[in-house]
Amino acid sequence: MEFDRKVEGYLEVAERVKNYKEFALPLKESELREQGARCMDCGIPFCHSGCPLGNLIPDFNDAVYQGKWEKAAKILHATNNFPEFTGRLCPAPCEEACVLGINADPVSIENLEKNIVETAFKNGWIKATPPRYRTEKKVAIIGSGPAGLAAAQQLNRAGHWVTVFERDEKVGGLLRYGIPDFKMEKHIIDRRVKILEKEGITFRTGVHVGVDIPIGSLQGEYDALLLSGGATVRRTLPIPGANSQGVVQAMDFLAQNNRKVDGLPYSGEEISAKGKRVIVIGGGDTGSDCIGTSIRQGARSVINFEIMPQGGTDRPADQPWPFWPMRLRTSSSHKEGAERVFSISTKRFNANAQGQLKSLVTTGVSWERVPGQRPRLVEQAGSEREWECDLVLLALGFTGSETTLSDALDLSMDPRGNIRASAKDYATNVPGLFVAGDQRRGQSLIVWAISEGRQAAHHMDAYLMGASNLPLKGEGDLPRI
Ligand SMILES: Cc1cc2nc3c(=O)[nH]c(=O)nc-3n(C[C@H](O)[C@H](O)[C@H](O)COP(=O)(O)OP(=O)(O)OC[C@H]3O[C@@H](n4cnc5c(N)ncnc54)[C@H](O)[C@@H]3O)c2cc1C
Ligand code: SF4
């Protein structure tokens, strides 16, 4: 009742696009405490169920309000291994479920989360805590994204010897090679990985399991295995001209740029937006990251196509609180100078005699909805339009897991191309082999990957030991401070 919602501001666009650094302007401690005070400590905190980790949100909000930052950090870490990732990158479904959000602006939970964990790092409160005893069981984790890292820390806490295999030369999965530095600088990952190493986790990078070493040899050496290799198969756009030079998959563009920023070598030709008319096809997180990266590379213009209609900023009536609503979301990258076009579908690419992209052709579309049936895409007659462009980035999402390991192991797959395992136990059809994160649920969010890694770790521990004390969702112990 006393304080309005306030979150971090950003550096001016003209300043921030000069480099790839994060550009949030932190609030003062007194302002953060006021934001913590906005939490009503509801009898039933719906934010708990909005958060896929079951974070104990009113408890850490209250600790912030009281200025007890170390206590807040302990509460936060009870359910979330990596709040420095979610505090920067989570779309915050908790805030959509916040009771205050029914008739006012919700509590700024995500921003408080980031400030709690950064205060804790600054004060040296986040230290390696190796387990007090070892079970002498060995666990292999294949894939070092947020799912693999969360599972590794949990299984190590249970006393197992954990080795994480990663085919890239550095740990982090999409946190490192997908998400641009301006959303999260990569030293944030390195800082956490150093702690995991001190706790006793072994990282074997540059090892592609199923290619460099057979999965069968790991099954012989380890007592349990977790697959956390992500949903890496990219959706394509099979229309005429799709092979033109200048039509590029978003992940090729983003991964190469992250490598350049990190001073790492990359394979293939350089993909640059400098001086080019760029069209990004796909309006999700990946599309938004392509916009911010293109602008920083010096694109002449950036246009973003989205096949869905433009949503409103208000919650639609058929998606009531506390559910996640589909509404127009505008990222910091969108505000850096991209034109957004909705209800549009690309029909073909045109190239010159050398095969170089010169334009694309679109039609306007609408969605026909018949109750009980899936919405049908309808092209609008006479709406064809040609757009001149030099670079097109395809940010169309992912269609599931790669099949090298699932074929070798004869794993059961679900109809969406993910490795099949129930959320009851994360176990595949092969005994001792578990799966978590995007490789199980399909392309998703960091917070879900961490949640899945934690849940899978509990069930792997139970498989190895007969029972597990590792917490399940929402079971984090509150610290006694
Ligand atoms: C461009 C982009 C931006 C995004 N932005 C956001 C965002 O802002 N917020 C958000 O919440 N989510 C975002 N996401 C989604 C989020 O990054 C993913 O949901 C999350 O990283 C999935 O985690 P994961 O651990 O399951 O898999 P990944 O992060 O995909 O990690 C899988 C790892 O496994 C490795 N691997 C695969 N197979 C093998 C093998 N056989 N041997 C060895 N290693 C292997 C891969 O190299 C990779 O490092 C974004 C995704 C993309 C593509
Ligand atoms: S992890 Fe995401 S959903 Fe959970 S409390 Fe933090 S911002 Fe909210």
Position 331 scores a pLDDT of 94
Position 477 scores a pLDDT of 58
89-102 pLDDT, tens digit per residue, is 999 999 999 999 99
| Cβ of residue 94 lying under 6 Å from some atom of ligand 2 | yes
Rounded Cα distance between 113 and 91, Å, is 13
Query: Beta strands 344-351 and 357-368: pairing type?
Result: antiparallel
**Contact of 430 with 409, CB cutoff 8 Å:** yes
Q: Mean pLDDT, to the nearest integer, of 190-210?
A: 98
Ligand 1: residues whose CB is within 6 Å? Answer: 89-90, 142-148, 165-168, 173-175, 178-179, 183, 208-210, 228-230, 254, 285-286, 289, 405, 437-439, 444-447, 449
Position 62 scores a pLDDT of 97
The closest ligand to the CA of 93 turns out to be: 2
CB atoms within 10 A of CB 160: 26
Nearest to 141 by CA among 106, 166, 104: 166
**Token pair of 134 as six digits:** 């070892």
Position 369 scores a pLDDT of 85
| Cβ of residue 109 lying under 6 Å from some atom of ligand 2 | yes
| Cβ of residue 59 lying under 6 Å from some atom of ligand 2 | no
331-390 pLDDT, tens digit per residue, is 999 999 999 999 999 999 999 999 999 999 999 999 998 888 888 999 999 999 999 999
CA distances from 470 to 99, 110, 162, 408 (A): 30, 25, 15, 31
The Å distance, Cα 142 to ligand 1 centre, comes to 12
Query: Beta strands 233-234 and 398-400: pairing type?
Result: antiparallel
Please name every residue paired with 234 in a beta bridge, in sequence order, or none if there are none.
Answer: 398
The ligand 2 atom at the shortest distance from the C-alpha of residue 93 is 3
CA distances from 400 to 21, 174, 177, 199, 409 (A): 31, 15, 18, 32, 17
pLDDT band for position 36 (cuts 50, 70, 90) = very high
Q: Computed from CA positions of residues 309, 284, 304, 10, in that sequence, does the dihedral angle turn out positive or negative?
A: positive
Position 480 scores a pLDDT of 47
Residue 25: pLDDT over 50: yes
| Cβ of residue 75 lying under 6 Å from some atom of ligand 2 | no
The Å distance, Cα 54 to ligand 2 centre, comes to 8
What percentage of the chain has pLDDT greater than the value 70? Answer: 99
**Token pair of 26 as six digits:** 């932190």
pTM of the complete model: 0.97
Q: Mean pLDDT, to the nearest integer, of 280-295?
A: 96
Position 371 scores a pLDDT of 87
State the DSSP H helix or E strand holding residue 301, giving kind and residue range, or none if neither.
Answer: strand 301-305
**Contact of 294 with 336, CB cutoff 8 Å:** no
| Cβ of residue 146 lying under 6 Å from some atom of ligand 2 | no
**Contact of 120 with 70, CB cutoff 8 Å:** yes
Please name every residue paired with 379 in a beta bridge, in sequence order, or none if there are none.
Answer: 365
Nearest to 229 by CA among 346, 140, 100, 299: 140
